[in-house]
Structure 1
Amino acid sequence: MKDKLRFILNRIGERLWVKPLFVCLVSIAIAFIAQWADQFQIFQKAPEVNTESIEMLLEVISASMLVMAVFAVGSMLAAYQSASNSATPRAFTLVVSDDVSQNALSTFIGAFIFSIVAQVALLNGYYEKAGRFILFIITIVVFVLVIINFIKWVDGIARLGRLGTTIAKVEKATAEALRRRREKPFLGGTQSDHQTDGLPVFPTTVGYIQRIDMDALQTAAKNGEMQIIVATLPGAFVAPNRPLAYLRGGRDAEAVIETASIVNAFFIGNQRTFDDDPRFGLITLSEIASRALSPAVNDPGTAIQVTGIFVRLFAELAQEISEQELPRIEYDRVAVPEIPLSDLFEDAFNAIARDGAGTIEVVLRTLKALATLTSVGNEKMEAAALESARLVIAHAQESLSIPSDIEKLQAVSEFARSLDSGE
């Protein structure tokens, strides 16, 4: 339930209209709540507030907030375009879900709606003495919130859409996805044996798997007295000819009545998401590095920065893998395959190895990063890092032509040869 709620909230956060709509409804409610004070005797001793003073504040808010909201939307669109052009379109959802920008836009629109509703109610005599006092207090609070959010938004919009901010957002999303996968390498189920025997279950739509509802699969497996072997993980592109899972055992397995519920347990969408798909985060970071290495951009420093991020992510992954205890099995009737470390390294380093092969600075830094990852104390990661290093060296040998660059490459490549020889 916690994972499902997180997934839903993240999807809601990617919709720009949700927060402003909610704040608008709250603003309308607050404008009418002030009138309740007139019904309680305790508020009748409230100070008398001049109607004109409240009206003046509301007019200032209503006249300025709509302009601010339009300005905020324009600035956000410019930041979104900058993020897509400078980084990669795959990072767009992370930039859109920026809380500072959404909160500022919601505050501006909410304050505008509140001022209009309150002003109409005030001019029509809806409030008495206590109601006017409470409305005055609420108006001052709204005014303060607008100023605070404006200051925070100005600071945030200066960074939103910048390449460094986008990279940081992608790194954070990738780290969270890797952490969740470390804690549940099989999504809370048992480890799959990678066998394809059993009754296949096919999807009815085409798209990317965004999430797997393990609770639903466990329930379906119990009801059918069977075992479910998950064949595709989040991030995989599926079509009606690619099995989602295989069903083993159970009663009347050839006419399984739980097929619909099993298919519905796989959330399929048009795009990949970062939540349960750590490979997508690594691919996005790799795309940012590849774009930076293109002749049109020529920014090897960004590629080097991304390489350092990969070292942080994989080093943390290796540490947790080597020290953690066996994961607790929550879904004993559902078997899930593990993401091979070799696949993660391919997602991270293959594009950099190809596109950075002609830039000696990138090649050297990538090989040093991989050399670091061979010494983290994890055999699987050492093998994956060594394989990626071989690919980097092969690409570099084909692209580098200057003798001094080739000598530097040979010097840094010694670690790969020493590992191959067992030294």
Structure 2
Amino acid sequence: MIERWKWFVIRISKRPWFRASLYSVLGIATALVALVAAPYIPDDVPTKIGSDAVDNILGVLASSMLAVTTFSLSIMVAAYGSATNNVTPRAISLLVEDPTTQNTLSTFVGSFIFSLVGIIALSTGLYGDNGRVVLFAATIIVVILVLYALLRWIDQLSGLGRVAETTARVEKAATQALCQRMEQPFLGGRPLEVDPKALPGARPLYPRKIGFVQHIDMPALGELTQAEDRAVYICVLPGIFVEPSQPIAWSVGIGEDCDDALRDAFVIGAQRTFDRDPRYGIIVMAEVASRALSPGINDQGTAVDVIGRGVRVLSHLSRPTPPEDPKFDRVFAPGLSVADMLDDFFTPIARDGAAIIEVCIRLQQALASLGRLGDAAVALAANRHASMALRRAEAALTMPDDYQRVCQAADAAGLLDTSNQQGK
């Protein structure tokens, strides 16, 4: 249950309103701290500093921060619309969750709230001369933070919503999710190597919701299987679409009174997330390439760039990983399918780019790179996709010379025997 709440807290902390609310509370607390610190200020300090100086600064800060926040929000909305049209709508969540953007806007909102509370407190006479000095010092610090946030915001705006920047964010999210899964290929449990339906006493567990599995609380399942005669066999992974007629797990030795606790370990939502679902990041990258290859955009350069990014992400499938020490001995989970990962990425790109020679050649080179990394399963899947991409190119390319160039690229890659195809 703790793991489940931890995941929820992480998800909530990525929402824009969370940081904005946190910075607003901080702004209020900073403005009111002068009331507590005022008695500790020597009486002659207000005269030396000029305690009335804070009024004008707070007024300028309040008016400017409101305008800057409104302007920044309009820029964000325009950037999200541009990314939706030119990249893919599935990548917008990464832009919304960007910590730099959230921190910048939260700083603007927090400084506006700080100045507003300060002005209200000054007008009521709560501070006194000594309190004004403390407020003046806090205002200087807030101004410095605002200037720093503005400089970061200017740098951030140079790439916000652009295709290359958004694609880089998707690549980073997919890489993080895949590396995390490679460290725990079975989510911390043991590999699922048997058909749970054939086990004696196994009971199916059906979900009550319809949607995508977003998270599996393995510690909760581990607590339910502490007894030696208990076990849970997971049938789904994060990213799988489930509905009430499809079992998400099978339990052995666990009574029906624990079914609700078992279901609570599976977080099901309306949309897929990048955090625990490496296949989703791969799918979104393929969507970026497919959109770039559409007749309305016709940007094969972006597709070639995405293919290179996909090779970087999928190369982690061949990375040697130490044997996993299962934390939950009686929880069994399926592992990632290498074939499915390559299907998710290369199939749509090969289909939509079959008539573009640059894409066809780059696909053969990319698949050859994956095949040479040493993992047998990756090499087998790469060989299969290279063969399919070559057949798609044969059907789509109208110039025989173009097809010969693709065959030469495939032959140079060493994955296929193209001697028969080149003679056609």
TM over 0.5: same fold? yes
TM-score, normalised via structure 1 length: 0.93
For residues 181-239 of structure 1, what are the alpha-carbon distances to aligned partners after superposition, in whole Å with 9 as ceiling and x for unaligned? 11000000000014031210000000000000001111112269411000010000000
Aligned to 1:121: 121
In the TM superposition, what is the alpha-carbon distance from 1:101 to its structure 2 partner? 1.6
1:391 pairs, out of 388, 393, 396, with 388
Scaled by the length of structure 2, the TM-score of the pair is 0.93
Counterparts of residues 203-222 of structure 1 (less than 5 Å): 203-222=207-226
* Shift, 1:69, TM fit: 0.8
Partner SS for 1:416? coil
Q: In the aligned structure 1, how far is the partner of 2:2 from the partner of 2:144?
A: 35
**Paired residue for 1:140?**
140
| Compared CA separation, residues 394 and 344, structure 1 to 2 (3 A) | same
Which residue number corresponds to residue 297 of structure 1?
297
The secondary structure found in structure 2 opposite 1:331 is coil
Measured in 2, the distance between the counterparts of 1:25 and 1:43 equals 28
Contact 1:286–1:348 (CA under 8 A) maintained in structure 2:
yes
CA-atom RMSD in angstroms: 2.0
Post-superposition CA distance 1:250-284 (Å, at most 9, x none): 2xx5x522111111100000000001100000000
How far is the alpha carbon of 1:130 from its aligned partner? 2.6
Aligned 8 A contact 2:387 2:416 in 1: no
Q: State the match for 1:357 in structure 2.
A: 354
In the alignment, which residue of structure 1 is the partner of 2:195? 195
Name the amino acid aligned to 1:398. A
Structure 2 equivalent of residue 179 of structure 1: 179
Question: Shift of the alpha carbon at 1:143?
Answer: 1.0
- What's the CA shift for 1:39? 2.8
C-alpha deviations, 1:1-36, integer Å up to 9, x for none?
996576335422442211111111111111111111
Residue type of the partner of 1:329?
P
Alignment of 1:299-338 (within 5 A): 299-319=299-319, 323-338=320-335
Q: Percent identity?
A: 38
- In structure 1, the gaps of 5 or more residues are none
Q: Give ranges in structure 2 of 5+ residues lacking alignment.
A: none
- Does 2:409 match 1:412? yes
SS in 1 for 2:27: helix
Deviations 1:38-82 (A, max 9, x none): 233x65453434343110101101111111111011011111111
Cα offset, 1:129, TM superposition: 3.1
Q: Which moved more, 1:214-223 or 1:52-61?
A: 214-223
Shift of 1:416: 3.1
* Residue in structure 2 matched with residue 280 of structure 1 by the alignment: 280
Comparing 385-394 with 14-23, greater Cα deviation is found at 14-23
Q: Is the 8 A contact 1:189 1:335 kept in 2?
A: yes
Structure-to-structure mapping, 1:11-410, within 5 angstroms? 11-40=11-40, 43-44=42-43, 46-48=45-47, 49-197=49-197, 198-222=202-226, 225-248=229-252, 250=253, 255-319=255-319, 323-410=320-407
The question of whether the paired residues in 1 share the 8 Å contact of 2:189 and 2:328 is answered with: yes
How many residues end up aligned between the 2 structures?
413
- Given that residues 4 and 265 in structure 2 are in contact (C-alpha distance below 8 angstroms), is that contact kept between their aligned partners in structure 1? no
Q: Is the 8 A contact 1:55 1:119 kept in 2?
A: yes
Q: Cα 1:151–1:307, aligned 2, differ >3 Å: closer, same or farther?
A: same
